[in-house]
């Protein structure tokens, strides 16, 4: 009876009165304060109010119904498709919208709609994957900022591939501790490529030098990246580097010179086809002949074998507590192993570059330590 009077009254009521009445009716419905028959009538009335010409009435309904699991599904679904200020509440909060509903709205929605969905208190892995695949940059950045979002490694990669050139998404990706290491490397490369394309950089140092500087910077950044990469992510990073053509002999020599023996071992597993246990055993205690065979199977030229063997022996002694050494000493011993006969070779040039970089890093750290004392 109350709902019957309500339906007759709304035709003559003012907007503010209709909005207040709609909110009260919605509140009574979700609180289950009405008898069954009146509840059915209230649901019909709420459905009818979807056609109210004033957005304020529908907004009042959305404010109440958007947080409830007991709201009428057809009403919530219609409000989610209403004009932005009404739909925003439902898209951002309603527990009645399923992943399927939300994925469809991400695919067909505006940037504003995608951001609202990406900001929901909980975002499933499937929904996050949809946003990563088709979402605008602003939606992807909102997803990355959402601590309630369950994001798969593949989704991180898709966002890095699609929007890694944009500072908004790139910074959000780099700041996320869940970002896989291969994605971090991809973003490092994108930053380098952006700098290389910069008209200012090209004008200052020229395209050829910009290319060389970018390549060297990416290699050094990759070495830093390895330090923060968990062992269980080495295989993914190695595969990423291999596909890009960055897993070169010079890069592997650099990793050994810097003591990244675990990463080097994972690379040997990927390149040689040997088991992880076999490679680990060889690196820990294998003789020179067995290690050289491993290097050959991995595609490393014979010219690189002796410098790798020298470095691995030093790092074994460091690991066993028999020696204290760092990249500066190891790179010097590798260079010394080549001898005068190969002083002008490309390998000697690489080792000299590694050694000089190590000298600079040590000097820089020493100066900072003095300044901080």
- pLDDT of 170-222, one tens digit each? 989 988 988 888 888 888 777 776 666 667 666 666 677 666 666 666 777 77
For 254-268, what is the mean pLDDT?
94
pLDDT at 201: 64
pLDDT at 150: 93
Share of the chain above pLDDT 90, in %: 48
pLDDT at 122: 93
Question: Would you put residue 301 in left (φ > 0), alpha (ψ -120 to 50) or beta?
Answer: beta
Least trusted range by pLDDT, from 167-171, 241-245, 276-280: 241-245
- Average pLDDT, whole number, for the chain? 87
Question: Would you put residue 51 in left (φ > 0), alpha (ψ -120 to 50) or beta?
Answer: alpha
- Taking 90 as the threshold, does the pLDDT of residue 315 lie above it? yes
Tokens 């209230």 belong to residue: 42
- Taking 70 as the threshold, does the pLDDT of residue 365 lie above it? yes
pTM higher than 0.85, yes or no? no
Measured in whole angstroms, the distance separating CA 178 from the mean position of its chain's CA atoms is 6
Tokens 């989610």 belong to residue: 80
- Taking 60 as the threshold, does the pLDDT of residue 1 lie above it? no
pLDDT at 356: 92
Quick check: 358 and 326 in contact, CB under 8 A?
yes
Q: Exposure pattern of 151-168 as b/e (b: 16+ CB <10 Å)?
A: beeebbbbbbebbbebee
- Taking 70 as the threshold, does the pLDDT of residue 125 lie above it? yes
278 or 372, higher pLDDT: 278
Share of the chain above pLDDT 70, in %: 90
Residue 289's alpha-carbon distances to 254, 335, 345, in angstroms, are 22, 21, 24
CA dihedral for 261, 263, 269, 275, sign (positive or negative): positive
Residue 159's alpha-carbon distances to 293, 314, 320, 361, in angstroms, are 41, 41, 43, 34
Which backbone phi and psi does 129 adopt, to 5 degrees?
-65, -40
pLDDT at 282: 94
Other CB atoms closer than 10 Å to residue 281's CB: what's the count? 13
pLDDT per position as a tens digit, 5-63: 676 677 778 889 889 988 888 888 888 767 787 788 888 888 888 888 888 999 999 99
Could you write out the three-class secondary structure of the chain? Answer: CHHHHHHHHCCCCCHHHHHHHHHHHHHHHHCCCCCHHHHHHHHHHHHHHCCCCCHHHHHHHHHHHCCCCCCCHHHHHHHHCCCHHHHHHHHHHCCCCCHHHHHHHHHHCCHHHHHHHHCCCCECHHHHHHHHHHCCHHHHHHHHHCCCECCCHHHHHHHHHHHCCCHHHHHHHHHCCCCCHHHHHHHHHHHHHHHHHCHHHHHHHCHHHHHHHHHHHHHHHHHHHHHCCCHHHHHHHHHHHHHHCCCCHHHHHHHHHCCCHHHHHHHHHHHHCCCHHHHHHHHHHCCHHHHHHHHHHCCCCHHHHHHHHHHHHHHHHHHCCCCCCCHHHHHHHHHHHHCHHHCCCHHHHHHHHHHHHHHHHHHHHHHHHHHHC
Confidence grade of residue 352 (pLDDT, cut at 50, 70, 90): very high
For 271-299, what is the mean pLDDT?
94
For 358-370, what is the mean pLDDT?
86
pLDDT at 213: 63
For 257-274, what is the mean pLDDT?
93
pLDDT at 211: 64
pLDDT at 329: 94
CA pair distance 54, 90, nearest whole angstrom:
17
CA pair distance 6, 45, nearest whole angstrom:
8
pLDDT at 255: 94
pLDDT at 136: 95
For 286-304, what is the mean pLDDT?
94
For 100-119, what is the mean pLDDT?
91
Which of these, 58, 98, 103, 53, lies nearest to 78 by C-alpha position?
A: 58
**Residue 303, C-beta contacts closer than 8 angstroms, at least 6 positions apart:** 342, 345, 347
């Amino acid at each position: 009876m109350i709902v019957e009077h309500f339906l007759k009254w709304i035709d003559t009521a003012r907007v503010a009165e209709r909005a207040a009445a709609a909110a009260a009716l919605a509140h009574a419905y979700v609180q289950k304060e009405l008898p069954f028959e009146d509840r059915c009538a209230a649901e019909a009335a709420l459905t009818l109010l979807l056609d109210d010409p004033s957005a304020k009435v529908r907004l009042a309904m959305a404010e109440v119904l958007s947080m409830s699991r007991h709201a009428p599904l057809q009403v919530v679904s219609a409000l989610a498709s209403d004009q932005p200020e009404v739909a925003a509440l439902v898209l951002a909060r309603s527990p009645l919208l399923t992943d399927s509903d939300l994925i469809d709205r991400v695919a067909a929605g505006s940037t504003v709609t995608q951001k609202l969905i990406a900001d929901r208190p909980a975002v499933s892995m499937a929904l996050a994957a949809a946003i990563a695949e088709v979402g605008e940059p602003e939606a992807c950045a909102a997803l990355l900022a959402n601590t309630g979002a369950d994001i798969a490694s593949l989704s991180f990669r898709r966002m890095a591939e699609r929007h890694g050139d944009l500072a908004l998404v790139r910074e959000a990706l780099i700041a996320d501790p869940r970002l896989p290491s291969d994605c971090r490397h991809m973003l490092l490369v994108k930053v380098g490529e952006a700098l290389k394309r910069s008209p200012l950089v090209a004008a200052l140092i020229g395209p050829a030098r910009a290319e060389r500087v970018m390549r060297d910077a990416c290699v050094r950044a990759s070495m830093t990246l390895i330090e923060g990469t968990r062992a269980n992510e080495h295989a993914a990073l190695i595969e990423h580097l291999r596909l890009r053509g960055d897993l070169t002999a010079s890069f592997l020599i650099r990793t050994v010179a810097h003591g990244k023996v675990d990463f080097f071992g994972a690379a040997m597993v990927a390149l040689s086809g040997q088991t992880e246990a076999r490679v680990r055993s060889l690196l820990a205690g294998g003789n020179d002949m067995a290690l050289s065979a491993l290097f050959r199977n991995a595609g490393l030229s014979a010219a690189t074998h002796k410098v790798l063997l020298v470095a691995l022996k030093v790092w074994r002694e460091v690991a066993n507590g028999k020696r204290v050494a760092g990249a500066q000493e190891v790179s010097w011993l590798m260079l010394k192993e080549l001898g005068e006969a190969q002083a002008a070779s490309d390998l000697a040039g690489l080792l000299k570059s590694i050694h000089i970089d190590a000298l600079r890093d040590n000097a820089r750290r020493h100066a900072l330590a003095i300044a901080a004392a």
